[in-house]
Amino acid sequence: MKSILLTRPLLDSFNTRNILRKYGYKVFIEPVFTIKYLNPDISAHEFDVVISTSKNSIKAFSQICKVDDFPIITVGNSTMQAAKNLGFSDIISADSNVDGLISFIKAHYSNAVKFLYIRGQEVSCDLKKRLSEEDFNVREVVLYKTIIKRSLTNRCKNLLLDGKIDSVAFFSSQTARVFCSLVLKSGLSPVMN
């Protein structure tokens, strides 16, 4: 039986684990970070449309603002589905990456629209800057931050040392970087082939 290590936060890993088990995988979970939701003040009168590039920003937004009051543009379908699952209904997915999202906004919205970009503390692309360069009015609000683990658990170290993990799944470049740094910190890089 093939084994796989999931590195996402616990709740996200549970969903993925259940799917992988159906395909015969032995699944281990080792979250390399946790999500801390923040509670900034967001005035509904300051924007017309919400932009989201992550499921975590949608989750945080649903805790702050009344669901279904605002149209939401998501970068992809998984973020759109997360918004639907939380009760939002006026959602459009750019079904792309950040470049596709920017192209979508340029094609479908005027510069008079006020956007609220909800995001985490760490981002891979400065979306606000890129949209502002196109003369769009964008306010960004940080709704969550990631708390990075300081070390791998002893269980995970032992699984890696004993060769009981065939592969590791990463869902973001940040997660891969964090995991690799924890492996190096633990002195396990020789066993990672």
- Residues 31-41 have pLDDT tens digits of 999 999 998 88
Ordered by start, the domain boundaries in the chain are 3-32+149-191, 37-145
Residue 67 pLDDT grade (very low, low, confident, very high; cuts 50, 70, 90): low
Helix (H, G, I), strand (E, B) or coil at 157: helix
Q: Which residues pair with 101 in a beta bridge?
A: none
Helix (H, G, I), strand (E, B) or coil at 132: helix
Rounded to an integer, the average pLDDT of 93-116 is 95
Q: Decide if pLDDT at 66 tops 80.
A: no
Q: What percent of the chain has pLDDT over 70?
A: 97
Residue-level pLDDT at 4:
98
**What average pLDDT is seen over the chain?**
93
Dihedral angle at the C-alpha atoms of 126, 131, 137, 141, nearest 10 degrees?
Answer: -20
- Tallying the residues shown for the chain, one arrives at 193
Question: Tokens for 63?
Answer: 């805790």
pTM value is 0.83
Of 55, 16, 54, 33, nearest in space to 178 by CA? 33
The CATH number of 37-145, from 3.40.1350.10, 3.40.50.10090, 2.40.50.140, 3.30.300.130, is 3.40.50.10090
